[in-house]
Amino acid sequence: MIITIDIGNTSTAVGLFNSTELVKQFRMPSDEEKTVRDYEDMLYSNLGSVDIDGAIIGSVVENLNDRLCYAVMDLYGVKAVILSNQSRTGIRLTLKNNSEIGADRIANGYRAFQLYKKSVITVDFGTATTFDIVNSKGEFIGGVIAPGIQTQFNSLNRATAKLPELDIDYIDYAIGDCTQNAILSGVVRGSACMIDGMIDMCEQELGEKAVIIATGGFCNIVSKYMKRSFDLISPNLTLEGLHELYLLNAQPPVWRRK
């Protein structure tokens, strides 16, 4: 079995794969105050004693990398692959500075392109709402980063005197008839409008229609208010991409005579 670990800014998603099947998944906090032992306890309480053949970590919180590596090694005796722009990514990274790209975005782009083999735009609803764009040549050409849904709610509450802190919910009308509904409309429906608009602009720059894929916790709610339907909603896209990239990086490179 293979463990895939996606360390995000707020939470860490963990997946357990048996061959190509995701058989278990859970989340734990991305907390820099927690120790290796803390992470060992969380992993063991969710996974128990299982035979692990390998592990991969994709992280945007580098201070937690060693802790998760040690936890996996102590519990299961395997050294985790750390995914980075220096890894075998399966797609060509063509940013101005490839070191800036997060491992989760590499995993999203790779998995999306493997599914369709054409231009893809992946929208990931996390702490930030990110767009990962791979063209029809399999080149990761860039993306978009905007504040995430819950981040917007939290920011409005912290930066104002009267606006309450809310959680995401459906909202029937664009015109809010109270403060709560006005905030929900602005954040939820506003995010839907932003995503529609950015998809249009990105496709204009690509010069063609793209396959649109959504992942992350809030995609089902926001998609209700979009003009453009997602071609695929895949909540486990990042974990699946990490699993495939583990297999790609665990295999020895094939040397060919030039």
Is position 104 annotated as part of the catalytic site?
A: yes
d(CA 9, CA 11): 6
Provide the 10 A C-beta neighbour count for residue 51.
Answer: 7
Pairing of strands 2-7, 54-59: parallel
Sign of CA dihedral 201, 204, 206, 208: positive
Polymer length in residues for the chain: 258
Identify which of 188, 187, 208, 192 has the alpha carbon closest to the alpha carbon of residue 133.
208
C-alpha 185/C-alpha 169 separation (Å) is 10
What does the DSSP 8-state code read for residue 64? G
What value does the CA radius of gyration of the chain take, rounded to a whole number of Å?
A: 19
C-alpha span between 157 and 67 (Å, rounded): 33
Q: How far apart are CA 27 and CA 36, in angstroms?
A: 16
Give me 167's structure tokens: 């959680």
The DSSP secondary-structure symbol of 66 reads H
Give the active site residue among 6, 53, 104, 167: 104
Catalytic positions, written as ranges:
104
